Amino acid sequence: MSDNARTLALMGVGLAVPTLLVLMWMGTAKTSLAESKGAASGVAIAQASDDTYCTPALKQILRRVAGACGLLQEGGRGCKPGDAKNVAAMNGDDFNALFLPLKHRVKIIQFDAEQTVLDDGATSTIEKAWADQQGASFFFVVARASPDGAADKNQALSQARAEAVLGHLTTKFQDPDLKNEVGLLWLGEEYAQLSGDFCDWQRSRVGGECTAKEVNRSAFVAWIDCAI
């Protein structure tokens, strides 16, 4: 090979190396861009899913309940039935329907008639519900009583059931932020009674008879992961 040919060959290699490096860098950049677009797409999909789940009507009721129950500012530790009616500004069936999208998150904590004591199934179910936070901000406890006995007694009964759930969470987890995360709503027998259809939801008692009376001797608990 002549000196001129050898020189030209070396120049070609010298030019090829940086060109190859540039092409490799461009390929990496395209891959990174595609990955970032994929990530962005994932966020968009998650947001769309959130929008489907967290309807404007659901966000409105959650915001009102959270405010009335002292979660959005300094306030009380819970809401009684009269407050719930004013806060929800809707009838009981409408109120319950708003929580239907939460079926996969809600766990129903059942109690014996006229009782407020948590059994083993109730405590373990509460702990499972608490562990299912998934980045959510508010944990709601909505307690009820079946329509047996006097209304004022059932209101006190449902309040004690809600507070029993809060008491277990406080004792079990010793979480300093818990007071800002847990909202109690006690409905007694006066508002938003559940139908027997809710027996198909996740309950702390599996098997045995379940009617509207059994399912209303309860507190249902769930994290709310809507941005309200």
d(CA 227, CA 8): 66
Span 123-138, pLDDT tens digits: 999 999 999 988 888 8
- Phi and psi at residue 177, to the nearest 5°: -85, -5
Which residue ranges form the domains of the chain, and what is each CATH number?
54-224 (3.30.1330.60)
Query: Distance of CA 163 to CAs 43, 87, 221, Å?
Result: 37, 20, 12
The residue that leads in pLDDT, 201 or 83, is 201
Q: How many helices (H) and strands (E) does the chain have?
A: 7, 6
Q: Is the dihedral of CA 62, 180, 167, 131 positive or negative?
A: positive
d(CA 217, CA 191): 13
d(CA 199, CA 183): 24
pTM over 0.75, yes/no: no
> For residues 105 and 132, is the Cβ–Cβ distance under 8 A?
yes
Span 156-177, pLDDT tens digits: 999 999 999 999 999 999 888 8
> Distance from first CA to last CA of the chain, Å, rounded?
78
Span 194-223, pLDDT tens digits: 999 999 999 999 887 899 999 999 999 999
- How far is residue 79 CA from its own chain's centroid? 19
